[in-house]
Structure 1
Amino acid sequence: MLFLFACVLGLVLLNVPIAVALGVVAIAAIWLAQGTDALLNLPIVVYNAATNFPLLAIPLFILAGAIMNASGISSRLIAFATALLGFIRGGLAMVSIGASLFFAEISGSAVADVAALGSITIPAMKKKGYPRALAAAVMSSSATLAVIIPPSIPMILYAVMAEASVVQLFVAGIVPGIIGGLGLMAMAYYFARRYNLPIEQRFSWKEVRRTAREAMWAFTLPMIILGGIFGGFVTATEGAALAVVAALFIGLAVYRELDLPHLKEAIIEGGSQTAVVMLLVSTSALLGVYLTEVQAPQELAQAVMDLTTNKWFVLALLNVLFLLLGMFLHSAAAIILVVPVVMPLVKAAGIDPVHFGLIVTINLGIGQQTPPVASVLMVACSIAKAGVWEVTRTNVYFVGVLLAVLLLVTYVPITGMGLVELFYR
Structure 2
Amino acid sequence: MSEITFFLTAGFAGMVVLGVPFAIAIALAVTGALIAADIEPAFLAQSIISGSQQFSLLAIPLFMLAGELMSAGGLSQRLVDVASTLVRHMRGGLAMVTVLAALVFAAISGSAPATTAAIGAIMVPAMARAGYDKAFAASIAVSAGVLGPLIPPSIAFVIWGIVAEQSIGRLFLSGIVPGLMIALGLLVICWVHAWRNDVPRLPRASVKEAALAFARGRWALASPLVVLGGIYGGVFTPTEAAAVSCVYALLVGLFIEKQLNWRELPKIFANAMRTSAMVCAIIAVSAGFGILVAQEQIATNFATWLAANVSEKWMALAALNIAFFLLAAVMDEIAIMVILGPMLIAIANKFGVDPIHFGAIIVTNVSIGMAAPPIGYCLFIGMAISGLSLTRISRAMWPQIAWMLVVLFLTTYIPGFALMFQPAGR
What TM-score, normalized to structure 1? 0.96
Cα deviation per residue 1:342-363 (whole Å; 9 max; x = unaligned)? 2111112101111111111111
The answer to whether the Cα contact below 8 Å between 2:310 and 2:316 also exists between their aligned partners in 1 is yes
Equivalent residue number for residue 101 of structure 1:
103
Fraction of identical pairs, as percent: 36
C-alpha separation in 2, matches of 1:265 and 1:199? 39
Equivalent residue number for residue 117 of structure 2:
115
Equivalent residue number for residue 329 of structure 2:
327
C-alpha separation in 1, matches of 2:65 and 2:291? 32
Pairs aligned (count): 422
Q: Which amino acid aligns with 1:13?
A: V
C-alpha separation in 2, matches of 1:103 and 1:414? 26
Cα distance, 1:371 vs. partner? 2.0
Q: In structure 2, list runs of 5 or more residues that go unmatched.
A: none
Cα deviation per residue 1:324-379 (whole Å; 9 max; x = unaligned)? 11011122111111112221111121011111111111111111222221110111
C-alpha separation in 2, matches of 1:392 and 1:138? 11
Q: Which amino acid aligns with 1:279?
A: A
Cα distance, 1:203 vs. partner? 4.0
Equivalent residue number for residue 17 of structure 1:
21
1:32 aligns with 2:40: no
Cα deviation per residue 1:52-86 (whole Å; 9 max; x = unaligned)? 11010000000001000111111111011000111
1:347 aligns with 2:349: yes
Cα deviation per residue 1:35-66 (whole Å; 9 max; x = unaligned)? 143x2333221101011110100000000010
Aligned 1:340-379 pairs, distance under 5 A: 340-379=342-381
Equivalent residue number for residue 317 of structure 2:
315
C-alpha separation in 1, matches of 2:190 and 2:424? 34
Q: In structure 1, list runs of 5 or more residues that go unmatched.
A: none
**For 1:250, which of 220, 230, 252 is the aligned residue?**
252
1:6 aligns with 2:17: no
Aligned 1:399-418 pairs, distance under 5 A: 399-418=401-420
**For 1:397, which of 399, 416, 422 is the aligned residue?**
399
Cα distance, 1:115 vs. partner? 1.0
Q: Which amino acid aligns with 2:133?
A: P
Equivalent residue number for residue 140 of structure 2:
138
1:228 aligns with 2:239: no
1:283 aligns with 2:272: no
What TM-score, normalized to structure 2? 0.96
1:152 aligns with 2:142: no
C-alpha separation in 2, matches of 1:69 and 1:10? 38
Cα deviation per residue 1:216-238 (whole Å; 9 max; x = unaligned)? 11111101110111122211100
Q: Which amino acid aligns with 1:23?
A: A
**For 2:171, which of 150, 153, 169 is the aligned residue?**
169
Cα distance, 1:424 vs. partner? 5.7
C-alpha separation in 2, matches of 1:318 and 1:160? 21
1:82 aligns with 2:84: yes
Q: Which amino acid aligns with 1:127?
A: R
Equivalent residue number for residue 129 of structure 2:
127
Equivalent residue number for residue 59 of structure 2:
57
Q: Which amino acid aligns with 1:15?
A: G
Structure 2 CA distance for partners of 1:337 and 1:221, relative to 1, 3 Å:
same
Cα deviation per residue 1:189-237 (whole Å; 9 max; x = unaligned)? 1001011112122143322211001001111110111011112221110
Q: For 1:147, what is the secondary structure of its paired residue?
A: coil
Q: Which amino acid aligns with 2:27?
A: G
C-alpha separation in 1, matches of 2:342 and 2:39? 25
C-alpha separation in 2, matches of 1:260 and 1:118? 25
The answer to whether the Cα contact below 8 Å between 1:122 and 1:139 also exists between their aligned partners in 2 is yes
Cα deviation per residue 1:5-51 (whole Å; 9 max; x = unaligned)? 33222212222111101111111112212x143x2333221101011
The answer to whether the Cα contact below 8 Å between 1:137 and 1:392 also exists between their aligned partners in 2 is yes
The answer to whether the Cα contact below 8 Å between 1:59 and 1:270 also exists between their aligned partners in 2 is yes
C-alpha separation in 1, matches of 2:39 and 2:345? 29
C-alpha separation in 2, matches of 1:419 and 1:114? 26
The answer to whether the Cα contact below 8 Å between 2:43 and 2:288 also exists between their aligned partners in 1 is no
Aligned 1:146-225 pairs, distance under 5 A: 146-225=148-227
C-alpha separation in 2, matches of 1:312 and 1:168? 24
C-alpha separation in 2, matches of 1:423 and 1:389? 47
